[in-house]
Amino acid sequence: MCIFCKIIDGEIPNKTVLENDNFLAFEDINPSAPIHVLIIPKVHIQSFNEMTPNIMADMTSFIQEVALTVGAKSDGYRLITNIGENGGQGVSHIHFHLLAGEKLGKLI
Ligand code: AMP
């Protein structure tokens, strides 16, 4: 079982930011910004390549709710999903990084 599935099952503790039946948002253990939240579907999906439009639609609403919950919706934030080896994906369970809490350096 992957590490994020273990977090969903409660085998590994997490600092939950927001949760519903289908998604979980929790603090990244090694934050890259003052606010760094990981947002995952509870169903195991390897990466963005395997996402379906239906799950993505529901996840969009959930991510917006997370942004509001952490107080980042109006000031702005960054969403990142790393995909596969060249994309730098370390955990093979799709996750969006929500980074916020300061003016983030430009990536591109
Ligand atoms: P990525 O490199 O895009 O796959 O991101 C994986 C992220 O998971 C990294 O930012 C890690 O810091 C984070 N991470 C790994 N294990 C845990 C954990 N047990 N709790 C919270 N975040 C974790």
Q: Whose CA is nearest to atom 4 of ligand 1?
A: 90
User: Residue 108: what pLDDT?
Assistant: 87
Residue 79 near ligand 1, beta carbon < 6 Å: no
Per-residue pLDDT tens digits for 48-65? 999 999 999 999 999 999
Helix (H) or strand (E) holding 16: strand 16-19
User: Residue 39: what pLDDT?
Assistant: 99
Is 44 an annotated catalytic residue?
no
Strands 35-41 and 78-80, by their bridges, are unpaired
Ligand 1 atom at minimum distance from 92 CA: 4
Q: To the nearest whole number, what is the mean pLDDT of the chain? A: 98
User: Residue 66: what pLDDT?
Assistant: 98
User: Residue 58: what pLDDT?
Assistant: 98
Check residue 11 and report its DSSP letter: S
Rama region for 68: left / alpha / beta (φ>0; ψ in -120 to 50; rest): alpha
Q: Which of 9, 91, 98 to mutate to test the pocket of ligand 1 (most atoms within 8 A of CB)?
A: 91
In the chain, the percentage of residues whose pLDDT exceeds 70 is 100
